[in-house]
Amino acid sequence: MDLDVIVGGIIYSLSDGTYCQHLSHDGVGMMPSHRLRQRGPMQHGETDLGFRGDPRIVQLALLIEGTSPSNYWTRRTALLNLFKPGNDPLKLRFTLDNGDVRQLDCEYIGNMSLGSREKMRYTHAVGVMLSAAKPAFYDPTGKSVVFALGGGGAAFEIPMAIPLDIGASTLDQTVVIDYSGAARWLAYPYRIRIVGPITDAIVTNLATDEKLDFDGVTIGAGVYYDIDCRYGYKTIVDDGDTNKIADLTNDSDLATWHLGADPDVTGGLNGVQVSGSSVTAATQVYIHWFDKFVGI
């Protein structure tokens, strides 16, 4: 297993000896969580209301191996620089032995005191404690699904969105997004882009019964709406960055729209339907997300 940290978009290895060797880690298994319970005035026991995930604490054990006094201090200073407060978020990336990549956005919270008792000549054992406010790991290679006209099966998963020419007046297609696999966690798309012209656009996850409905709204030619379903965002803006959340119907599910994993969605098979009228060859609809995981 290889371990990297990404700071400012630059990847630094924590495994190849340039800065240190990765000795061990803790806190990367099952995400922490707590149960939600309530008790009535005459109730024996409690009523379980489900659970919520909690922030994750990750602890790393690293080893600085200097080749000289000067080299030791160079590596020590460089390592401090990588984890210094303010480098937020630190993207911790694990490349597993099977080739899978799992990433976690973290903040440094402690342990790099670099006590002299952990130092022997030019080597130094270093502890690093990180906190991940969002405890799910994700595959940093994004996924997208593109929807075409007429249900002809032109939708497919790709690493990034591409334009797709379509040429009828009505868009009405259901595509099963296969979100199956071990240790999957639900995914909130970070972008659902609807490119006009299109009238009465609706994006529905039939497996979760959640919809994003723009009934009565026409998105004009050359205009697009971007929908961000992630917690803490929940936004809808057009290509001019104008807030368009008022165009969504009151019975829409922006707060909860997601791709569900098993057992929330049986087998992780999410049937997503996209529909709308008055479309042309310029109309495009696609969904972006990152695969999420409860741990590694």
Longest alpha-carbon distance in the chain: 74
Contact criterion met (CB below 8 Å) for 11 and 93: yes
Residues 36, 52 contacting (CB under 8 angstroms)? yes
CA distance 207 to 187: 14
Sketch the domain layout of the chain as residue ranges: 2-135, 143-293
The residues, ordered by sequence, that sit 6+ positions from 163 with a Cβ below 8 Å of its Cβ are 284
Q: What was the pLDDT predicted at 66?
A: 94
pLDDT value, residue 289: 97
Q: Is the pTM higher than 0.75?
A: yes
3-state SS assignment for residue 102: strand
Q: How far apart are CA 9 and CA 28, in angstroms?
A: 22
For 140-174, the pLDDT digits (tens) are 999 999 886 544 334 344 333 333 333 458 888 89
Cα 63 from Cα 86, distance rounded (Å)? 23
CATH code for the part of the protein at 2-135: 2.40.30.200
CA-based angle 107:111:112, to the nearest 5?
A: 90
- In degrees rounded to 5, what are phi and psi of residue 122? -105, 10
For 105, the token pair is: 């956005």
pLDDT on residue 149? 56
- Give residue-wise pLDDT tens across range 73-110: 999 999 999 999 988 899 999 999 999 999 999 999 99
Q: What was the pLDDT predicted at 169?
A: 86
Distance CA 99, CA 182 (A): 15
pLDDT at site 145: 93
109's CB contacts (< 8 A; 6+ apart) are: 57, 129, 130, 131
Nearest CA-CA partner of 226 in 194, 189, 265: 194
Residues in the chain predicted with pLDDT less than 70, given as ranges, are 148-168
d(CA 85, CA 13): 19
Cα–Cα separations (whole angstroms), residue 89 to 10, 145, 214, 295: 12, 28, 35, 19
Cβ neighbours of 211 (radius 10 Å): 18
The predicted structure's pLDDT at residue 168: 55
